[in-house]
Amino acid sequence: MNKTSIPKRLRRQRLIVYAVVIGLIVMVMFPFFWLLHMSVKPDQDIMSFPPKLLFKPTADHYLALWKTDFRRSFMNSAIVSVSTTLLSMVIGVPAAYALSRANFKSDKQLSLWILSSRMAPPIAFTIPFFLIYRYLDLLDTLPGLIIIYLTFNLSLVIWMMRTFFDGTPRSLEEAAWIDGASVWGSFLKIILPLSAPGLAATAIFCFLFSWNDFFFALILTRTQSMTAPVAVVNFMNYEGWEWGKIAAGGAMVMLPVVIFSLIVRKYLIHGLTAGAIKG
């Protein structure tokens, strides 16, 4: 076999791989770019056929959207997502550390039971939660949404952070105890800094799950506590679908998540790979 044919074959295979990867990226990103494209189109050009690729962009849809109740819904989503993420981390991280350092027979089974709340479909909890919330007068309230998101995010925090804590050498804690540090002090000053990538990755997932939720927000809210994903659906009514506002609302719902993910992508990738290796 000619030696010069090997580099040519490798280059050809590499080009094929690059072409497939670029094609997959285009397929994944096309709906997002098309939504942005539609959100800045004039009303008369949105449903035109064939689609107009060249037009004069307009921000009218965003300005009109911000003058409606969508602004309050957007703030509701921000309040609920941030609050749920903070509470889940404050409660779940110490719980994960306790399970990681626990030494009893049923610790694995206990972790499985904690994770089981994420395994059942959301529809299975709908009726019980709705009846309980109606009895406690928590329907259409922000605390009600925070509580229900907290119940699901806690299991995620405990499951993910326990993996990181299991990979942390216990000898570091023992050395700190010999130097006079307390259990709580070694946890705050040694374990948490070493688990920073895991904390970042877990917090990102908690925020994303709370921000993107549609099902529970649709069932348990009406007007006062409506979140942004549910508010976008209100532009689909019997009088017609307001495509410009729908596209602008979808873009505004997605952009904070995309920007936030790009900012912390380094911690997210490092946290996920570290957890996989240490697990």
Q: Which pLDDT value is given to residue 276?
A: 47
Residue 83: CB atoms within 10 A of its CB come to 17
Sequence-distant (6+) residues with CB within 8 A of 69 are: 223, 226, 231
Low-confidence ranges of the chain (pLDDT < 50): 1, 275-279
CATH H superfamily, domain 61-278:
MetI-like (1.10.3720.10)
User: And the tokens for 121?
Assistant: 């479909």
CA 64 to CA 228: how far, in whole Å? Answer: 15
* Helix residue ranges, H only, 40-141: 43-46, 60-66, 70-101, 107-119, 126-136
Burial of 165 (0-12, 13-18, 19+ CB in 10 A): buried
> Could you tell me the residue ranges of all domains in the chain?
5-59, 61-278
CA 29 to CA 256: how far, in whole Å? Answer: 16
Q: Which pLDDT value is given to residue 4?
A: 54
Residue found under tokens 């449903």: 47
